Amino acid sequence: MKGDLGAMMARHFSDGCVQGIIIRPERRALPIELDKVDVSLDGLQGDHSRAGKRAVTLLQVEHLPVISALLGRREVDPSHLRRNLLISGINLLGLRKSQLQIGTCQVYIHGPCPPCSRMEEAFGPGGYSAVRGHGGVYAEVISAGSITLGCNVMRVDEAV
């Protein structure tokens, strides 16, 4: 069955869901897991993130078992992956250059977020390679609001 590629790329089976919220108040600080966070144009309140296109990082929960398998582990602690929001149920990589509604804020997904060298610190030799292609995405905050655990994540038409 043939279809318009743009239309197919815009369709998603379902909305996503926020499964985790993680901040770090400063570089190399221990992660803090939250049930709710306020979001400004600079990023998540209390996080050391940078304003702009890397203000928020998102990781797809479905990638965790793949990373675990590549590391030869039963599971990995998502906080070791250094991403702010853990999202399930929607393909984040398929949302590149898209605007998302997450809770009451909106973000614009710029692209994939490659792993950093700290993956070797967190997981040992091979950690960096295990996360390649599974490191999530980075986003710019378009409109401030708040995010809570369990809230929906959905693609919206861009006005950017």
**What would the pLDDT profile of 107-144 be if each residue is shown by its tens digit?**
999 999 988 888 998 999 999 999 999 999 999 999 99
Q: Kindly state the average pLDDT of the residues 14-42.
A: 93
The two three-digit tokens of residue 155, written as one number: 């693609």
pLDDT digits (tens, 9 = 90+) for 74-87: 999 999 999 999 99
Residue 88 within any structural domain of the chain: yes
Mean pLDDT of the chain: 91
- 138 Cβ partners below 8 Å, 6+ apart? 53, 54, 56, 57, 58, 109, 110, 111, 112, 113
Residue 9 within any structural domain of the chain: no
* pLDDT higher than threshold 80 for residue 151: yes
Residue 97 within any structural domain of the chain: yes
Task: Give how many domains the chain has, as a whole number.
Answer: 1
In terms of residues, how long is the chain? 160
Which residues span the domain enclosing 95? Answer: 14-156
CATH of residue 129's domain is 2.40.33.20
pLDDT band at 28 (very low <50, low <70, confident <90, very high): confident
Phi, then psi, of 74 in degrees rounded to 5: -70, -35
